[in-house]
Structure 1
Amino acid sequence: TGDHIVQCSLSAGQFPWVNYQDENLNISIPVFSVHGNHDDPTGADGLCALDLLSCAGMLNHFGRSLSVEKLEISPVLLQKGSTQIALYGIGSIPDERLYRMFVNNQVTMLRPREDENSWFNLFVIHQNRSKHGATNYIPEQFLDDFLDLVVWGHEHECKIAPVRNEQQLFYITQPGSSVVTSLSPGEAVKKHIGLLRVKGRKMNLQKIPLHTVRQFLIQDITLMDYPDIFSPEQPNVTHKVQAFCQQKVEEMLEEAEKERLGNPQTPEKPLIRLRVDYSGGFESFNTMRFSQKFVDRVANPKDLLHFTRQREAKDGMRDEGIDFEALLSRPSSEVLQLRVEDLVKEYFQTAEKNMQLSLLTEQGMGKAVQEFVDKEERDAIEELISYQLEKTQRYLRERHVEASEEKIDEEVSVGLRG
């Protein structure tokens, strides 16, 4: 924290100054934070959970965008001794919108007027870093090359050691989530926080391991890789597979116990995930019954075991498109290996012309279906349809279109092309 603050650019709201300069508050370690995608400012006043903490004087919320057309990022300027830090930040914005802003040169990062090159430029961002679609992420090269360090949020995998971007020449640190939030390989990486020290334009990031995080071990096995142990034609092969899986879980539990020794504050029950590829004619078995053997030893007995058939995941695909009936007749665990965005995109590419959706776009529909499936937002599709219908009706009223089907179709087609 700085001895004094030179300039402050916080979110416009009920608490537009830094809390530690308020004489009525006693702040030991000031906290500056952008908002993430789970506390996105919404509603008439554009408020989020961080605003409650900010108004209470507990932290400083910065990096809010007040416009959907352009983005001017003004830094918080801090100084301690001879070291000056320009702290930039963007709170979470839908990736597609921010991507479009960058492409259209609508994102501007303001520089300090005085001694522009003497500042250590630190940028905090909370967006997709890995590519989830054509525009559903923010490429690193979009960011300005005058930055020194980018702290990348949102991604859960811990990649906290700073990595240099050879094109823009800044460094990126990705702290990841502090706890395991999903049973995926990226979450199995050891969790760390970082202590950043800055002196002049030089920096040092100290990795600090978190010792009280619940352990998470994940392992993949493919049954076809063990022909010496079992084959689909063997009698009682399912019992042999079950015993083999039980042995693998026992080995992971033993490994977790060894790692936990010496850290008594670490939760006793680890998270265990065994993913079994049963391609090649093998049969799955009752996972709930299998998990009962470990109900008192693992933190996630209900989803300890997960069967996949990755080599056969495209059975529902046909050369001319997606056979939706074939997909719906298969187990849901296999269907969900396909990304819903891909299904929507395939529909828009392969549906007959007279069956195409004209008002609902591939991007909007893909987003709505993804939120319906991934986040259980049950009104996502309905809200999209209502919004698009209202927008189209408003356009037609402004154009004073006659109430004939041909005229309406013609105007809608022109409006969509425009």
Structure 2
Amino acid sequence: MAPAPTPRAARQATASPSASPSVLSPSSVPPLPSTRPSATSSTRLWSGPPPESAFRILIATDNHLGYLEKDPIRGEDSFRAFEEVLQIAAARDVDFVLLGGDLFHENKPSRRCLVTTLRLLRHYCLGDRPVPFTILSDQAAHFGPATPRANYQDPHLNVGLPVFSIHGNHDDPAGDGNLCSLDLLAAAGLVNYFGKQTAVDHVRLDPILLRKGDCRVALYGLGNIRDERLHKTMLAQHTGASTEAGAGDDDNDNDNNDDAYFNLMVIHQNRVPHGATSYIPEEFLDDRFDLVLWGHEHECCIDPVRNTAKGFHITQPGSSVATSLSPGEAVPKHVGILTIRPGHQFHIEPVPLTTTRPFVIDDIALAQLGLQPHDHEAIQLALSDKVEQMIATAHAEWRDAHPDRRGQPPPKPLIRLRVEYSGGYTTLHPQRFGQAFAETTANPKDVLHFYRRRVYANPYAPHPTAGGGRSGTTAPRAPLAVPDPFLPDRPEDVDVQEIVATFLAAQSLQFFAEAELSEAVRLFVDKDDRSAIADFVGSTLETAQTALQQ
């Protein structure tokens, strides 16, 4: 049995908004709301207050620390939002924080990003607050040999707010030692990193068994694996999950069985299909789970939705900072307070984030404005008026959401106007257009996004006969207007491996393995692993030389 946490002196005062000064700057994170946010939209599976033994967990995902950190306007957005997440956790006195991946935006975060993250975690997670739960399963199997126990049970540390996290597709392990930035935070004793797989062709899910009084939780985690590869593995049913119920538990009651555990799964994969195998269908997950925390998708859908085929619920907290100018990012952002009590019952209370930057997105079609296609000045004036309206909307929405800060000017909003210019209309230079809004928007260089609609033959249109109705003679099919796909907002939206595969298809490689070369290029480009290609070439040469010598 894993040792119970060492009793510590209770905190002198419960964390409160006024007692949690910002680590970044005195005014970077405003005080938290003094009243509890409404939870009328969340799932309630019991009435009345939860028992003392109920788990209280703050759930969040996709913090993307370091996103646009060199931007003079948006550089602090990711850090402010993450600090607010930690402030909420401390003020609401949760048992621990559970993160669903992509804590960092870059695979190799900058020194400034790492130092800021370490400062935040030290400030809010270290302290004398007693941790009210214990771990029953083999901790070394979950956290690895370098950190063989949870940080709050380390006798050399004094952790009052444990943080558990899996990795995402941005901060996944790579390179020598298969390490990532979360390994660094784990070695520093600030994060409990779990969910790393040693063999992607056979996924093994062994849960962290948690106990708080008579409440038990089996916490499963699966860090990000390339969707196509994981899809293939799961389709072949090369996955395994266990509860090891009661492992290390010396109680001789009825709790030593699977039914005693609330099964909580954390995953970081595409939930929305982007291709035949570039996502993970919900039905691929085991029906033993009670609740699935889904990371990677940035749209906030935190209210749990039941999968009728499998019986579990899914909550999608979404990102805490906007990393693209898409409709999903414009949805108001929340974290959740997950309460679990015995009997497989849970409740999620959505808590809005107040530090996120206002974001308004809208569409407009030039053909519907009644303007001449080549009247450049009229088009610019119409689009400028529309952007001004969107800025006013952003300010009004921010004031309505922050009545306690009416005396403060609203932050510069993110504005995205998607302009359809089909019908021979001219486009404007987005950066030149944005210069007029440099003082009123946070993203003046990409306020506008132009696209056209292409016309295709409609394969589903009827085939009316022409002339006298002679069989085999058909009239032209009705055209079908389909929007041209939007250009990617982010460089990471471009699939490097697809480009490499297209190039290699025209080559005839005799020495290098195409799949391994493609993976090396991906690591070099996506993960900034400067030695990936050289290591691949050296390894291939060494293998060939050994084969020749034999």
Same fold (TM over 0.5): yes
Identity over aligned pairs, percent: 43
Higher mean C-alpha deviation, range 162-171 or range 100-109? 100-109
Instruction: State the shift of 1:175 in Å.
Output: 0.7
Q: Which amino acid in the other structure matches residue 162 of structure 1? A: P
Give 1:67-86 correspondences, 5 Å limit: 67-86=199-218
- Aligned residue for 2:135? 5
The alignment status of 1:180 with 2:322, answered yes or no, reads: yes
- Aligned residue for 1:253? 391
Instruction: State the shift of 1:334 in Å.
Output: 7.8
Q: Is the 8 A contact 1:127 1:154 kept in 2?
A: yes
Residue 29 (structure 1) aligned to one of 158, 161, 168: 161
CA distance in 2, matches of 1:145, 1:335: 38
- Aligned residue for 1:301? 444
The alignment status of 1:269 with 2:412, answered yes or no, reads: yes
Give 1:349-364 correspondences, 5 Å limit: 355=506
Residue 279 (structure 2) aligned to one of 132, 137, 146: 137
Q: Pick closer, same or farther for the CA change 1:266–1:202 going to 2, 3 Å.
A: farther
CA distance in 1, matches of 2:350, 2:147: 33
CA distance in 2, matches of 1:313, 1:16: 59
Q: Pick closer, same or farther for the CA change 1:143–1:392 going to 2, 3 Å.
A: farther
CA distance in 2, matches of 1:313, 1:291: 33
CA distance in 2, matches of 1:364, 1:231: 54
For the residue of structure 2 that corresponds to 1:66, the secondary structure is coil
Higher mean C-alpha deviation, range 180-189 or range 22-31? 22-31
Q: Pick closer, same or farther for the CA change 1:86–1:54 going to 2, 3 Å.
A: same
- Aligned residue for 2:345? 202
For the residue of structure 2 that corresponds to 1:225, the secondary structure is helix
Q: Which amino acid in the other structure matches residue 281 of structure 2? A: P
Q: Which amino acid in the other structure matches residue 372 of structure 2? A: S
Q: Is the 8 A contact 1:212 1:263 kept in 2?
A: no
Tell me the alpha carbon deviations over residues 142-201 of structure 1, each in whole angstroms, 9 at most, x when there is no partner. 110010000011111111111111111111111111011111111111101010000111
The alignment status of 1:127 with 2:127, answered yes or no, reads: no
Q: Is the 8 A contact 1:341 1:367 kept in 2?
A: no
CA distance in 2, matches of 1:30, 1:166: 33
CA distance in 2, matches of 1:300, 1:294: 9
Q: Pick closer, same or farther for the CA change 1:72–1:51 going to 2, 3 Å.
A: same
Q: Pick closer, same or farther for the CA change 1:51–1:302 going to 2, 3 Å.
A: same
Q: Which amino acid in the other structure matches residue 15 of structure 1? A: T
CA distance in 1, matches of 2:278, 2:486: 24
Residue 424 (structure 2) aligned to one of 275, 281, 284: 281
Residues matched between the structures, number = 371
- Aligned residue for 2:172? 40
Gaps of 5+ in 1: 315-332, 401-418
Q: Is the 8 A contact 2:517 2:536 kept in 1?
A: no
Give 1:316-355 correspondences, 5 Å limit: 355=506
For the residue of structure 2 that corresponds to 1:152, the secondary structure is strand
For the residue of structure 1 that corresponds to 2:293, the secondary structure is strand
For the residue of structure 2 that corresponds to 1:101, the secondary structure is helix
Q: Pick closer, same or farther for the CA change 1:335–1:137 going to 2, 3 Å.
A: closer
TM-score (norm 2): 0.59
TM-score (norm 1): 0.77
CA distance in 2, matches of 1:182, 1:336: 9
- Aligned residue for 2:470? none
CA distance in 2, matches of 1:99, 1:284: 41
For the residue of structure 1 that corresponds to 2:386, the secondary structure is helix
Tell me the alpha carbon deviations over residues 195-230 of structure 1, each in whole angstroms, 9 at most, x when there is no partner. 00001110000011111100111111111233xx31
Q: Is the 8 A contact 1:10 1:60 kept in 2?
A: no
Instruction: State the shift of 1:295 in Å.
Output: 0.9
Residue 380 (structure 2) aligned to one of 231, 242, 265: 242
RMSD: 3.7
For the residue of structure 2 that corresponds to 1:37, the secondary structure is coil
Q: Which amino acid in the other structure matches residue 259 of structure 1? A: E
Q: Is the 8 A contact 1:214 1:267 kept in 2?
A: no
- Aligned residue for 2:36? none
The alignment status of 1:101 with 2:233, answered yes or no, reads: yes
CA distance in 1, matches of 2:186, 2:529: 31
CA distance in 2, matches of 1:199, 1:221: 49
The alignment status of 1:216 with 2:359, answered yes or no, reads: yes
Higher mean C-alpha deviation, range 36-45 or range 145-154? 36-45
Q: Which has the higher contact order (CA 8 A, sep 6+)?
A: 2
Q: Is the 8 A contact 1:213 1:266 kept in 2?
A: no
Tell me the alpha carbon deviations over residues 390-415 of structure 1, each in whole angstroms, 9 at most, x when there is no partner. 76995898599xxxxxxxxxxxxxxx
Q: Is the 8 A contact 1:341 1:366 kept in 2?
A: no
Tell me the alpha carbon deviations over residues 36-57 of structure 1, each in whole angstroms, 9 at most, x when there is no partner. 2222122332221112211221
CA distance in 1, matches of 2:327, 2:538: 41
- Aligned residue for 1:408? none
Instruction: State the shift of 1:13 in Å.
Output: 3.4
Instruction: State the shift of 1:133 in Å.
Output: 2.3
